[in-house]
Amino acid sequence: MFLPQEFVRKVRDRQPLDKQEIAQFVEGVTSGQVTEGQIAAFAMAVYFNELPIDARVALTLAQRDSGDVLDWRALNLNGPVVDKHSTGGVGDLTSLLLGPMVAACGGYVPMISGRGLGHTGGTLDKFESIPGYNVAPDTDTFRRVVKEVGVAIIGQTARLAPADKRIYAVRDVTATVESVSMITASILSKKLSAGLDGLAMDVKVGSGAFMPTYEKSVELARSIVDVGNGAGMKTTATLTDMSQSLAPCAGNALEVACAIDYLSGKARPARLHEVTMALAAQMLLIGKLAKDEADAHARLLAVLESGAAAERFARMVKALGGPADLLERPHTHLARADVIVPVPAPRGGHVARVDARALGIAVVGLGGGRMKTTDTLDYSVGLSGLIELGERVEEGQPLGVVHARNEDAAKRAVSEVQRAYTIGDDAGALPPVIHALLD
C-alpha cells in the first residue's frame, strides 16, 4: 500500500526512491488523493535535498504521463518535431522569430508557451496583443496548423501535464519555486507532453535572469540537459546573457512590432539576432536539419533573406485567427499607448550596468505584466529604444522611451528606468552574449 507521508519521509531523509513510488505520488497529485499539505512537504523536502538525476527523470516522466501526450507520428510529418524553451527574461522575443525560421528550414515547432512570470515577459501575452489570435485552440486545430504551417505557438491546455500545474501552484505559495529538481521536472514534463524529438534550452544569466547566480544557471542547464536526454528527448542548453534587455524594447505589442521588423528585415538588433541564431541553429542540429553550425546559420539566414520565415509567421497568425495583413500593416492592428515620453539620462557617461529585472518590473508597473494572475494586461504599454551596456550618453539624452496609459504612470516609469541604469565614467568590459553551450 502506498502512503504519501512515507514517501515524503524518504525524500526528507534522502533515501533512495524507486520509479514506481514517484509515479504513485504524482498519480495521487493528479487524482487529488495527495493533499496540498503533502505536496507542500514534498516540495520543501526536495528544495532542501534536491533529487538525484534518475529520480528527476522519473518525476518528469510521471508528470508528463499525468495527462495527454501529443503524438505526431500519425501525421506523417516530413521533418523533426523540435522546440525551444527559455527560463525567461526581459525583451526576449526569440520564440516569435525562431519558430517561423525553423519551420521555413523544414522543422515542425509545436510551441506550448507560458504567460509572464514576475518581471519576465510571457510569449503568450505577446501573441494575445495580436487581435483575434487564439492562444487556446482545440488539439485538432493545433495539430493541423503545425502540419500545414510548420509552427503554432499556443498556451498550455488543462490536459497537458496537469500534475505539474497542481505542484507548481503549491510551490508558488510555499517559497519552493527555486528548486532545480522541480524546475527541471516542470519545464521538461510540459515539453515532453508536446511529443518533441528535441529541445533547445535557453538558460539566462545576469541581472534579469530567473536564477540568481551564474553557478545556479549552470546547475539548472546541466540538470535540464541530463534529464531531457535521460527521458529520451535530445536536449541541449545555451547559457545566454540577460544583464540587460535582450531586444531594445520590452512590452507586448512593442515586442510583436519588433519581431515583425526583424522578420521583414527592417531592423535586426545585434544581440537579439545572435541569441536567436544560436538557439535556432541548435534546433536545426538537434533535428538533423543541418550538418554543422555553419550550415545551420547559412540555412537560417537564407530563410530570413528570402522572406520565407516572415511568410510562415504571417500564415501562423492568420491560421490562428489573427489578421491576414499583420506584417504589411502592423500599426493598424497593434495597440498604441496614449502617452509616449523619453527617459532623460541624469548625467553623461557610459552605461556601466543595467538592472534588467528593474526594467521588467517597470513594464509590470505600467500594466504590461501581472501583479496577480487575475490582472488584465494593457498590451500597448512598455519601453522602447533602450540603450545598451557600454554605450555613451550625454546628460538629458534618452536612455529609452516609456509608453504609458497616462501621465502619472509615465512619470513613475521614467524614474524606475533612470534607477535601472548606472552611468559611469568608463564602459567596463561587456559580458558575452552567449556564455556557453551544454550538450
pLDDT at 117 (0 to 100) = 65
Domain boundary, last residue among 22, 45, 64: 64
Q: Are residues 134 and 17 in the same domain?
A: no
- The residues that are catalytic are 83-86, 123, 171, 186, 190-191
How far is Cα 196 from Cα 189, in angstroms, rounded to an integer? 11
Find out whether 109 and 83 touch, Cβ atoms under 8 Å: yes
Q: Are residues 355 and 259 in the same domain?
A: no
Q: Are residues 219 and 112 in the same domain?
A: yes
Q: How far is CA 198 from the centre of its chain?
A: 16
Q: Which residues in the chain come in under a pLDDT of 70?
A: 117-118, 372-373
Q: Flag whether 431 is in a domain.
A: no
Q: Quote the number of domains for the chain.
A: 3
Find out whether 83 and 72 touch, Cβ atoms under 8 Å: no
Q: Flag whether 367 is in a domain.
A: yes
Q: Are residues 378 and 272 in the same domain?
A: no
Q: What is the pTM of this model?
A: 0.94
pLDDT at 308 (0 to 100) = 98
Domain boundary, last residue among 287, 319, 351: 319
Q: Are residues 143 and 271 in the same domain?
A: yes
The β-bridge relationship of strands 109-113 and 151-155 is parallel
Residue 359 CB neighbour total at 10 angstroms: 26
Give per-residue pLDDT as tens, 401-428: 999 999 999 999 999 999 999 999 988 8
Q: What strand order describes the sheet that includes 349-354? A: 392-393, 349-354, 421-424
Q: Are residues 59 and 140 in the same domain?
A: no
Q: Are residues 25 and 119 in the same domain?
A: no
Strands (E), 66-142: 82-86, 109-113
Nearest to 103 by CA among 70, 78, 125, 127: 78
DSSP per residue, 225-293: HHHHHHTT-EEEEEEEE-SS-SSS-BSHHHHHHHHHHHHHTS---HHHHHHHHHHHHHHHHHTTSSSSH
Place of cell 508536446: 194
Find out whether 12 and 45 touch, Cβ atoms under 8 Å: yes
Side chain identity at residue 188, one-letter code? L
Q: CA angle, corner 371, sides to 37 and 356, nearest 5?
A: 110
Q: Are residues 189 and 254 in the same domain?
A: yes
pLDDT at 160 (0 to 100) = 85
How far is Cα 156 from Cα 192, in angstroms, rounded to an integer? 12
Q: Flag whether 185 is in a domain.
A: yes
pLDDT at 369 (0 to 100) = 84
Q: Flag whether 430 is in a domain.
A: no
Q: What is the mean pLDDT of the chain?
A: 95
pLDDT at 59 (0 to 100) = 98
Q: Are residues 123 and 18 in the same domain?
A: no
pLDDT at 339 (0 to 100) = 98
pLDDT at 159 (0 to 100) = 85
Find out whether 220 and 231 touch, Cβ atoms under 8 Å: no
Q: Flag whether 439 is in a domain.
A: no
pLDDT at 297 (0 to 100) = 98
CATH number at residue 211: 3.40.1030.10
CATH number at residue 55: 1.20.970.10
Q: Flag whether 216 is in a domain.
A: yes
CATH number at residue 402: 3.90.1170.30
DSSP H or E stretch at residue 48: helix 36-49
Nearest to 356 by CA among 86, 119, 13: 119
pLDDT at 115 (0 to 100) = 73
pLDDT at 164 (0 to 100) = 92
pLDDT at 172 (0 to 100) = 82
372, three cell numbers:
496577480
CA 60 to each of CA 71, 211, 328: distance values in angstroms, whole numbers, following the listed order? 18, 20, 43
pLDDT at 53 (0 to 100) = 97
The β-bridge relationship of strands 198-205 and 234-241 is parallel
What lies within 8 Å, CB to CB, of 283 at 6+ separation is 82, 83, 84, 98, 102, 107, 109, 198, 200, 289
How far is Cα 359 from Cα 383, in angstroms, rounded to an integer? 8
Q: Are residues 253 and 110 in the same domain?
A: yes
The number of helices, as runs of H, and strands, as runs of E, in the chain is: 17, 12
Q: Flag whether 330 is in a domain.
A: no
Find out whether 163 and 29 touch, Cβ atoms under 8 Å: yes
Residue 396 CB neighbour total at 10 angstroms: 11
Find out whether 354 and 243 touch, Cβ atoms under 8 Å: yes
Q: Are residues 49 and 79 in the same domain?
A: no
What lies within 8 Å, CB to CB, of 45 at 6+ separation is 8, 11, 12
Question: Domain span at residue 17?
Answer: 4-64
Domain boundary, last residue among 30, 45, 64: 64
How far is Cα 148 from Cα 140, in angstroms, rounded to an integer? 12
Place of cell 515577459: 121
Burial 167-185 (b: 16+ CB within 10 A, else e): bbebbeebebbebbbbbbb
Q: Flag whether 437 is in a domain.
A: no
How far is Cα 213 from Cα 311, in angstroms, rounded to an integer? 39
Q: Are residues 228 and 367 in the same domain?
A: no
